[in-house]
Amino acid sequence: MAKCDSCNKMMDANNSITCTQASCTKGLHFACMNPSIKDDKEQRLTWKCPSCKVKEPRANRDNTPIRSSKDDGKGSSAENVTVRRGTQQQDKKQQQDFLASMREEILNTIRSELPKVVRTVISDELRPMNSLIKELEKSVQAMSGMYDSIKKEMDSQASQMQKLKEENLSLHESVNELHGRLSDLENDFSKQEQWARIKNIEVVGVPENNKESLSHIIGMLAEHTGVKVTSDDLVFVNRVQAKRAGGGRPRAIVAQFKERATKDTLLSAFKKCRSITTKDIGMDGDHRKIYINEHLTVKNKVLLSKTKDLAKEAGYKFVWSKNCRIYMRKSENSPFILITKESDLKSIVK
């Protein structure tokens, strides 16, 4: 099966026509003809392709009868010329066919060459873009490699971070455990330290004197409260320097008794006496108040001070220590509250 001489596509018998010249195999689709002869059966029987038509010799007009002016002596020579209409129409048709064939040839040439030209132009125009695309591809590949490397490094760091988090959590738990154990040890030490002072009293406010007898002072205080205490009842008695010295205040006197009961009796009697001054124990000079308390540790002294401050703010009337333990009570009929640490005070505020 032949191809259309115009569009170069395959033809079939229903939609195309083949040149009737014996040695020619060219043909056209009816759609590629202008005008189309699909419906003209007579022209289809004699149709020749534009190439074959061009090769045909032009019609010979030598046989055209011309009447001589001498034949009848009438009229001019122009009047005696007989022009055949059929020949003129045939020449005109041949010219139209020739122009049509030339048109078809030009169109065919354009159709066949235009794609090549277009491809060449497009190729020339796109060549710089192709180079740019290749450079972009290289850049993308390089960036992809960098991304893979960075991702790998980030994954490694994420793994290390996870391990560090787990280790940190483990360390945090260990620290909490150690903190709890340390807190327990501190509490145990504080209890032991306070227990070591269970037989002690602390006397505050007694002026110092180079010739003083501390055991005599303790005996005078005990005598004023109605309790008999001799030097044989004491393990030791001496003055201790306060952590924050200053203000001209005398150092406190700490006395330890051999028996706890003696200490408890003296403290109970002092609370009933309510007030003792330097005059009551025979000391000259300005009358100063003397206070006798349990010998608390520094930690418990701070806790006692904070308990007193809170009692004022919260309206608690009583704060005291007994057996080196701190208590507070809101009124005479209220239950007492044991204070062992600062968190106990926070719970009271809430």
Instruction: List, for residues 14-50, the tens digit of each pLDDT value.
Output: 788 888 887 788 888 888 887 778 778 778 888 888 8
Phi, psi of 336 (to 5 degrees): -80, 155
The residues spanned by each domain of the chain are 110-195, 198-295, 296-350
Per the CB < 8 A criterion, the answer to whether 297 and 336 are in contact is no
Q: What is the pLDDT of residues 66-116, one digit of tens each?
A: 444 444 444 444 444 444 555 677 777 878 888 888 888 888 888 888 887
Confidence of residue 261 (pLDDT cuts 50, 70, 90): very high
Between 295 and 93, where is the model more confident?
Answer: 295
Q: How far is CA 329 from CA 121, 175, 295, 324, 325, in A?
A: 104, 37, 22, 17, 14
339 contacts 326 by C-beta, under 8 angstroms:
yes
CATH number of the domain at 198-295, please? 3.30.70.1820
Give me the pLDDT at residue 121, please.
Answer: 79
Mean per-residue pLDDT for 152-169?
93
Non-local (6+) Cβ contacts of 173 within 8 A are none
User: What's phi and psi for 134, nearest 5 deg?
Assistant: -65, -40
Per cent of the chain over pLDDT 70 is 89
Closest to 52 (Cα-Cα) out of 27, 79, 84, 85: 27
Classified as helix, coil or strand, 149 is helix
Phi (first) and psi of residue 46, to 5 degrees: -120, 10
pLDDT for residue 292 is more than 80 = yes
Predicted pLDDT of residue 183: 85
In this structure, the dihedral spanned by the alpha carbons of residues 338, 344, 349 and 350, taken in order and rounded to 10 degrees, is: -120
User: Which secondary structure element, helix H or strand E, spans residue 187, and what is its range?
Assistant: helix 85-195
Query: Residue 77: what pLDDT?
Result: 42
Residue-level pLDDT at 120? 81
Burial label for 52, CB within 10 Å (0-12, 13-18, 19+), is middle
Instruction: Answer whether residue 63 shows pLDDT above 60.
Output: no
Specify the higher pLDDT residue, 326 or 247: 326
- Work out the mean pLDDT of the chain and round it to a whole number: 84
More confident residue, 116 or 223: 223
Residue 56 in this model has a pLDDT that exceeds 90: no
Compare 227 and 83 and report the one with higher pLDDT: 227
| Confidence (pLDDT) at 87 | 65
